[in-house]
Chain A
Amino acid sequence: MKKLLLLAVAGLAFAGVAVVALQQWSIGKPVTLDIKLGDPNRGAYLARMAGCITCHTNTEAGDPPLAGGLALPTQFGTFYSPNLTTDRKTGMGDWTVKDFARAVRQGVSPAGEPYYPAFPYPFFTKLTDQDIADLWAAFKTVPAASVPSKTQDIKFPYSFRDGLKLWRAAFVDFTPFEPDPSKSELWNRGKYIVEGVAHCGACHTPRNLAGVRQIELRFTGADGLPEGGKSSPITTKALKENGWEINTLKYALKTGVQPDGDTFGGSMGEVVRDGTSFLGDDDLTAIATYLLEKDQ
């Protein structure tokens, strides 16, 4: 009995040490940015492509754009998107461009806390310095809205935020985007959009119980998206089998109309409405080209 008690105490002490170690673990690398000046027009365009506006605007509640507060119910609990306006207290008004770069590409808050991967920074690690600078220039034009960010409503043990430091160290690929010189510029642009900025895999690749995307099932579609949603497979094979071509894929991303005349619903309806319908012809061509050629 005594032995058991001793063991339990030792176990607890060990857990305590682990918790303290995690809390003390300082994450994130120093930020280097080669680009000093951003273009707010390009940035606003990227904010559409990246879904910033879609996820950080509570349209239904009639809240101001990018003031956050949109609920994302998942198996881990409910996430609420934070306020991204220039409000100094409740938004990003006091941030520097380096704070922004670290948040977006490394998933680390200015206070050094890890973000939950409900924020798709594991994709944004691929963003170029220019795109970061452009996005920041655009965010600086957003009118301040004083809407306090809601507390994340996450279940234990996921509520232990420092645990994310392990998750991120184990599962996030922080290497920058590398174009493939054997492929066309269009293909590479498509890859950058699909696997970086537009983070298609966040919904189209199934995740395991730890919320990690299952690479071997890449783009094969997923069940159990927030609010019981499902996503279709978008591997090259599946797209071709379902009769997609460059032209029809572009048109669907622009208008939401599929080749059979049905229109997108669910979260893809939102993605088109608030995101891809704003994209230019060249980028739509790039996305469609990459999706239809990537697995060949």
Chain B
Amino acid sequence: MKKMKIAALAAGVAVAASAVAFAHGGATGIYKERMDAMMAMRKDVKSLATMMRGEIAFDAEAVRQAAATFKAHSGQTMTALFPEGTTEKPSEARPEIWQEWETFASLADQLHTYAEGLEKAADNGLAMSGTALGSMMNVKSMMMGSGANMMGTGSAMMGNTQAMMSAEELAGMPADGVFNMITKTCSSCHTKFRIEKK
């Protein structure tokens, strides 16, 4: 009886463990590789975002490490994980990736450049604390919206069309500014090329 209980318990643990392992729905091969890469970046975005919101103290070394993660998984390393037509479940990749390969590849490159920039900008610290960021942006967005500019600058502000900056140019920016450009790149790519779940 006791043995049976232990066996049941062991089975339960095994099921629980595999549920964790297969959180991405049993992805294998290249699907698993790219999901792991995305998860690695997600983890670092999560901890940096906590820092940007002012919930934990700014740590330049942690920023550099996160930048290294983004660099390692972007550019050609990323595009190499998307061979044509790899859209089988549980993949969230949309077929548009291969119809608009150039856009996809340029977003992957952009991420790489911004990651290099973040690495260099890590020591610049934050431009402002979490709440100050909001009110500064407020003033900024009001001005963007102003009169004749209502649309002119507006369109230049739209994620996809932002001018590509070099890593050297980014090196002079506050770390949170560069981080925002990175997450905007993530979101632009997800908007176009990822299937959304509820």
Contact = CB atoms under 8 A, between A and B. Distances in A.
Interface of A: 40-41, 43-45, 47-48, 53, 57, 59, 64-66, 138, 141-143, 221, 223, 228-233, 247-248, 250-251, 254-257, 259-270, 272-274, 277-282, 284
Given A232-B198, A266-B190, A273-B188, A261 B49 contact: yes
B190 A269 contact: yes
Interface residues of B, number: 51
Interface stretch (B8-16, B28-36, B117-125, B144-152): B144-152
Interface in B129-175: 130-131, 133-135, 137-138, 141-142, 144-152, 154-155, 157-161
Nearest to A63: B155
Given A261-B43, A265-B196, A45 B145 contact: yes
Nearest to A262: B42
Contacts of B135: 280-281
Interface stretch (B72-80, B81-89, B178-186): B178-186
Contacts of A265: 187, 189-191, 193-194, 196
4 tightest A-B CB contacts, nearest first: A265-B190, A261-B46, A281-B134, A44-B145
B196 A266 contact: yes
17 contacts: A44-B146, A65-B150, A138-B147, A141-B147, A142-B151, A230-B197, A251-B52, A261-B43, A266-B190, A266-B196, A268-B196, A269-B191, A273-B158, A273-B188, A281-B135, A281-B138, A282-B138
A281 B53 CA distance: 13
Chain B contact surface mostly: helix
B186 to A, nearest CB: 4
B142 to A, nearest CB: 6
Given A254-B137, A265-B190, A265-B193, 8 more contacts: A44-B144, A48-B145, A141-B148, A247-B53, A250-B134, A251-B52, A266-B194, A280-B135
Contact of A281 (B131, B148, B150, B154): B131
B126 to A, nearest CB: 14
A269 B187 contact: yes
Contacts of A273: 158-159, 184, 187-188, 191
A40 B147 contact: yes
Interface of B: 41-47, 49, 52-53, 55, 130-131, 133-135, 137-138, 141-142, 144-152, 154-155, 157-161, 180, 183-184, 186-191, 193-198
B127 to A, nearest CB: 14
Contacts of B138: 279-282
Contact of B155 (A59, A264, A277): A59
Contacts of A263: 45, 183, 186-187, 190
Contacts of A281: 131, 134-135, 137-138
Contacts of B142: 41, 45, 280
Nearest to A54: B158
Contacts of A59: 155, 158, 160-161
Contacts of B152: 65, 143
A138 to B, nearest CB: 5
A44 B47 CA distance: 34
